[in-house]
Amino acid sequence: MLSKSMEKALNGQVNAEYYSAYLYLSMSSYFDSVGLPGCGNWMKMQFQEEWLHGSKIYDYIIERGGRVILQAIDQPPSSWDSARAVFTEVLQHEQKVTGLINALADLALDERDHATSIFLQWFISEQVEEEATAGGILDKMKLIGDDNAAMLAMDQDLATRVFTAPSK
């Protein structure tokens, strides 16, 4: 059974993951509106991934005898100055989420909640991948600079991303 403090913290993370999903869906809409459908596709796949993360935590709370209390999801931004600005925000956002996950892991250790500690290891590894992926795309965008042809080629590459739900 989850402690009340862990239940509350995990509920907060459900909200953070669903906000992340909304943020990426908003970014997808932005990219579609500026003629970068590949970037839009990449963000839509990211939306699905974040929604899955929130749902995974949701299910875990229930499995451990807790109660999910859904909170209002803040409205994400809807416009950016450039594709590079979007991916800069993606990296910053993923770094913030990493901090949230690490705080949950710290709480689990402090409470000697070994089951939650083990559960959170998947998210810790996932955040390493999230930051590396966002950082890699941002590095490429920095190299591209103002080269529109290179940006279109990158957009085509990002269009190939397909969401595959991880196996449990």
- Whether 16 is covered by a domain: the verdict is yes
| Domain tally, the chain | 1
- Whether 166 is covered by a domain: the verdict is no
CATH of the domain at 57: 1.20.1260.10
**Are the C-beta atoms of 60 and 10 separated by less than 8 Å?**
yes
pLDDT score at 162? 94
pLDDT score at 168? 62
Report the chain's C-alpha Rg in angstroms: 17
Stated pTM of the model: 0.95
- Whether 28 is covered by a domain: the verdict is yes
Q: In this structure, what token pair is assigned to residue 50?
A: 């974040």
Q: In this structure, what token pair is assigned to residue 126?
A: 């996932």
User: What are the C-alpha distances in Å from 130 to residues 4, 24, 49?
Assistant: 29, 13, 10
Dihedral sign for Cα atoms in the order 43, 47, 27, 142: negative
Q: Which domain holds residue 98?
A: 4-158
**101: exposed, middle or buried (C-beta count within 10 Å: 0-12, 13-18, 19+)?**
buried
Per-residue pLDDT of the chain (168 residues; tens, 9 = 90+): 999 999 999 999 999 999 999 999 999 999 999 999 999 999 999 999 999 999 999 999 999 999 999 999 999 999 999 999 999 999 999 999 999 999 999 999 999 999 999 999 999 999 999 999 999 999 999 999 999 999 999 999 999 999 988 776
